[in-house]
Amino acid sequence: MSIQQQMRTELSKKKIFDQARSFAYEYIDGIEHMDVFPSKENIERLKTFDEPLSDKSSSAEEIIDQLHEFGSKATIAQLGGRYFGFVNGGAVPVALGVKWLSDVWDQCGGLYLTSPINSKLEQVCEQWLKTVFNLPMETVAGFVSGTSMANLSGLVAARFRLFKNLGWDINVKGINGAPEIKIFAHEQVHASIKKTLAMLGFGIENIHWIPSDTHGKLRLDRLPELDHRSLLILQAGNVNTGSFDDFDAICSQANKAGAWVHIDGAFGLWAAASKSLSYLTKGIEKASSWAVDGHKTLNTPYDSGIILCKDAEALISALQASGEYITYSEQRDPLLYTPELSKRSRAIELWATMKYLGKEGMNTMITEFHTRAKQLAEGLSESGFIILNEVVFNQVLIACENDQQTNFVLNTIQSSSQCWCGGSNWQGKSAIRISICSWMTTKEDINKTISIFTEAKNSLY
């Protein structure tokens, strides 16, 4: 039997799909009881994949069985209730189901002609997102892999427009010999912003740094004079403290000067969907572009990033693609709004998540993250930990009496596999950063986490 005949048989009999479904159900059923981070033994067992590529084809059933046997146990229990690292989020069940279905569709989402369904759902999601974030109606959206790529898209649009303001067409003339663009960002800007600015040819040394306050917010009193060649980068949700810049006041000044304002809102922009937390995002509609993830706070499956830009011409021009084989349509062609030509149809799961939750479901889920973060901060404070931040959203930043104790507690917790969080550095001191961002996290999970932290701290003495 040829390999083509073999694959046709597998496709028609569907045995391997039933096998994968069975293993997926087994994984889901055990998610709340598995190690949050894989044990050393299960990490060691990954060596089974260190093998030379075989000359002949392999059994599909054996491949899926091997992946489940050795791979499932070496995953991060991100879907569970006690993974608090990197603001990774969970996954809403309906979105997982939709992803399974859309994975079988295997749609290339670059053009309307390669996926009409993706084109339509991108259009729908674009409208819904403008409603949730209260953005100008002229805003357009591009669906990318994550906020890193969304930041790149927003900043490349800013670069195009600001150079145009100065009479320079970056697409024609390039960056060599171009007039100066002034880039302003505060000290707590995310690492992905620095990376993106370097990729765009600006260089870290060309960033004008603005001081941040003790909460990680840009100091309004230190905001420099801006003009039509200025790019100002703000953030909704400091990755350590969860703090939000004063968008209303800052953007008002920037708008008067004709500056471009980009907001990095990877996880924080979704505060706009919470009735009690939306005050944190007041004034975001005055910015020029926004970057946000679905797979963080909204709990879509990976990967799901979004660039929103109210200057459609700048975004499309900056990301333009041309080629004799590219056939545009009269419908929405998604590649106009993203760097990729070939791309996954991410809007399908985003649409399913937003439709399932609705405005009230988003409000409830996102507000719950804040409630659980407050519960955790209060419990850890009572256990003798130092809470380093004002818990305004879903981030809790803690420390012990000194760096040695903080690092010991962090290492003890990470080794326990009962929960997982990451380390950071805040104002020159070691800290433990906890992100509450999974719909699965319950009051009981937080109580258990407080006990885990307390036991680790008590083991110091």
SS (H, E, C) 107-173: CECCCHHHCHHHHHHHHHHHHHHHHHHCCCCCCEEEEECCHHHHHHHHHHHHHHHHHHHCCCCHHHH
Say which residue, 325 or 244, is predicted with more confidence: 244
Confirm if 74 and 38 have CB atoms less than 8 A apart: yes
Query: How much is the mean pLDDT over the chain?
Result: 95
How sure is the predictor about 139, in pLDDT bands with cuts at 50, 70 and 90? very high
Topology given in CATH for the domain delimited by 106-354: Aspartate Aminotransferase; domain 2 (3.40.640)
Q: Mean per-residue pLDDT for 2-22?
A: 95
| Residues making up the chain, counted from first to last | 461
Q: Mean per-residue pLDDT for 363-367?
A: 98
How sure is the predictor about 239, in pLDDT bands with cuts at 50, 70 and 90? very high
* Predicted local confidence at residue 322, as pLDDT: 65
Q: Mean per-residue pLDDT for 291-311?
A: 97
Q: Mean per-residue pLDDT for 84-97?
A: 94
| Relative orientation angle of helices 347-382 and 93-105, to the nearest 10 degrees | 150
* Predicted local confidence at residue 195, as pLDDT: 92
How sure is the predictor about 326, in pLDDT bands with cuts at 50, 70 and 90? confident
* Predicted local confidence at residue 320, as pLDDT: 80
* Predicted local confidence at residue 438, as pLDDT: 97
Gap between the Cα atoms of 437 and 155, Å rounded: 27
* Predicted local confidence at residue 1, as pLDDT: 81
Residue type, position 327, single letter: T
Residue type, position 60, single letter: A
Torsion of CA 292, 298, 300, 303, to 10 degrees: 20
Buried b (16+ CB within 10 A) or exposed e, 294-307: bbbbbbbbbbbbbb
The closest of 213, 245, 268 to 426, measured between CA atoms, is 213
Q: Taking the model in full, what pTM does it have?
A: 0.96
Q: Mean per-residue pLDDT for 401-421?
A: 96
Distances (CA, A) of 297 to 80, 137, 261, 374, 435: 15, 23, 23, 16, 10
The closest of 356, 349, 355, 352 to 107, measured between CA atoms, is 349
How sure is the predictor about 321, in pLDDT bands with cuts at 50, 70 and 90? low
DSSP 385: P
Residue 212, CB half-sphere, CA atoms under 13 Å: how many? 22
How sure is the predictor about 328, in pLDDT bands with cuts at 50, 70 and 90? confident
Q: What angle do CA 260, 262, 263 make, to 5 degrees?
A: 150
